[in-house]
Amino acid sequence: VHEFTHALHHADLAAVRQVHPIWIMEGLATLFEASEITAGGLSPQLDSRLTTLQKAFKDKKNIPLQQLVKMDRTAFMQDPLLCYAEARYVMYYMHDKGQLKAWYDAYKAGFADDATGMRAMEKVLGKKIFEIEDDWAKWVAGLKLATNRLADQGRLGVEVQDAPAGVVVLSLVPSGPAAKAGRIKPGDVIEKIDTREVRSCADFVAAVRASAAMQTVNIQVFREGRHVTLAQPLGQK
């Protein structure tokens, strides 16, 4: 669903001749990667990104919305887990208010005056950005994710960043599944997890989360000039 949403979005961008910032691109794509089919179409569902975002608010490490909407790809990817979480739940917030489509339409119409999307938010929600942020933060704090859904998701325990052909492993989390197995190494470029292609951090996160906890997955990496497939046990959230 993530990549299909990107494909639909790119088609719309080509039609209107616009280039949208990364927070909008990834916010829309991640919104529907955890969703259910209902009579009204795809309905977004809470996912483990909520835990990341709620912890950031608790630790006062959240990124202000005025900063998030102005980030380029490089800045966004400095903290991909938090940025993806924030982008998704801004979109989820507008969806919950019944204003996501109105915002997107207003954003495209006013793109020449504001490419960040902030003014469109203020317009459709009828509030200044700092008021929106306060309301959004309270909304996020009130969301509750069933703990069994987290427990069912796999965990790998690596820090990665985007690379030309996948994601490169920067380090292993001490005592994490990857470190314990001793198969993945810093410098490996992860290209595929089971049948899922990994072309970005978003692909990587989605692939790991789509895998069940405690199962063994086949991870294809590029290491020292050759492709290697590793049988890697996953941990539990």
Examine the domain organization and report whether 42 and 134 are in the same domain.
Answer: yes
The answer on 19 and 110 residing in a single domain is yes
Question: pLDDT value at position 149?
Answer: 45
Shared-domain flag, residues 87 and 197: no
Tokens of 21: 């910032």
* 97 and 77 assigned to the same domain: yes
Residues 139 and 226 in one domain: no
* Higher pLDDT, residue 121 or 148: 121
Token look-up 């949403």 returns 5
129 and 38 fall within a common domain: yes
CATH code of the domain containing 178: 2.30.42.10
Please tell me the pTM assigned to this model: 0.66
Q: Are residues 19 and 135 in the same domain?
A: yes
Indicate if 121 and 100 belong to the same structural domain. Answer: yes
Residue given tokens 């796999």 in the structure block? 154
Last residue of a domain, one of 125, 145, 165: 145
Which residues constitute the domain of residue 53? 2-145
Are 45 and 13 contained in the same domain?
yes
Q: Does pLDDT of 147 surpass 60?
A: no
Q: Are strands 166-172 and 154-155 parallel, antiparallel or unpaired?
A: unpaired
pLDDT at 146: 62
Mean pLDDT confidence for 155-170: 86
Out of 86, 112, 145, a domain closes at 145
Q: Which of 82, 117, 145 is the last residue of a domain?
A: 145
Mean pLDDT score of the chain: 90
Ranking 38-42, 87-91, 107-111, 159-163 by mean pLDDT, the lowest is 38-42
Total domain count, the chain: 2
Q: 128 and 162: one domain?
A: no
Do 96 and 6 fall within a single domain? yes
pLDDT of residue 184: 95
Same domain, 30 and 132: yes
pLDDT at 229: 96
44-99 pLDDT, tens digit per residue, is: 888 878 989 999 999 999 999 999 999 999 999 999 889 999 999 999 999 999 99
> Rounded distance, CA 37 to CA 7, Å?
19
Q: What is the dihedral of CA 42, 93, 33, 56, to 10 degrees?
A: -160
Q: Where are the beta strands (DSSP E) in 61-165?
A: 154-155, 158-163
What is the residue type of 237?
K
What pLDDT was estimated at residue 172? 87
